[in-house]
Amino acid sequence: MRLTPERVADEYEWVRGRADVVVPVVNEVRAGLGDLFETDVDDVTADAYREEVAVVFADGDRAVNVAALVALLRDLDVAHDYPGFVVDEILGRELAGTIAGTQPLRLLGEATFHYADVSVHADEEGEARSASGERAGDAREVAGADDLDAALAAGFQTRLPGWDWQDGESPFAVTDEP
């Protein structure tokens, strides 16, 4: 694989164009986590997703890494799938964390990837489907396809506002001001 600014731009367009696939998974994950943590979490719109994709790819250092991970997962396949199970999990977790940002969001993105990954699976026809059975992706027959959708959902849902604990400044910030 060769990464160029043009290839990064192509991957940006591909990720941006997946709003119809990723946003429903984001909202399903948020609803499930909200139930688990007994809190309301705002839904994400396709426009908010696309705007945040632009923010991620505007940071060139992050963009080249996101583009590489996306490209790898888009093409990753392993004969008999199971032997490659670990590599697509590693790449998916890393993609989610890279998208999410710095700590603690990075760790939350990585952890959320595993939660999202459980809810997105390829069916017999190779289409990614969410836990509710809704189509979550294009017909693709590569091992990394469902991990890619789960990683995008986990990373962007972590970055985007909507969680109460992210509202306002941290009470643990130390400043020199009286």
What tens digit of pLDDT does each residue of 58-109 get?
999 999 999 999 999 998 877 766 666 788 889 999 999 999 999 999 999 9
Q: Which residue has the higher pLDDT, 125 or 167?
A: 167
* 9 falls within a domain: yes
Q: Six-digit token pair at 149?
A: 């959708």
Question: Is the separation of the CB atoms in 107 and 92 below 8 Å?
Answer: no
**Length in residues, the chain:** 178
Q: Establish if 172 belongs to a structural domain.
A: no
Number of neighbouring beta carbons within 10 Å of residue 85: 12
**In this predicted structure, what is the pLDDT of residue 78?**
74
Residue 175 lies in a domain: no
176 domain residue, yes or no: no
Which of these, 3, 36, 2, 20, lies nearest to 111 by C-alpha position?
A: 36
Nearest residue to 109 (alpha-carbon basis) of 153, 65, 70: 153
Min mean pLDDT across 13-17, 32-36, 117-121 is at 117-121
Counting the structural domains of the chain, the total is 1
pLDDT at 134 over 70: no
CA 101/CA 97 separation, integer angstroms: 6
* Axis-axis angle for helices 85-100, 60-75 (nearest 10): 160
Q: Which pLDDT belongs to residue 142?
A: 67
Instruction: Return the higher-pLDDT residue of 121 and 142.
Output: 142
Closest to 119 in 3D by CA, of 19, 45, 34, 25: 25
Supply the range of the domain harboring residue 79: 5-164
Question: Does 158 fall in a domain?
Answer: yes
Assess if residue 145 is contained within a domain.
Answer: yes
Asked whether residue 125 carries a pLDDT value surpassing 60, the answer given is no
Does the pLDDT at position 29 exceed 80?
yes
**Does 121 map to a domain?**
yes
Assigned domain for 88 exists: yes
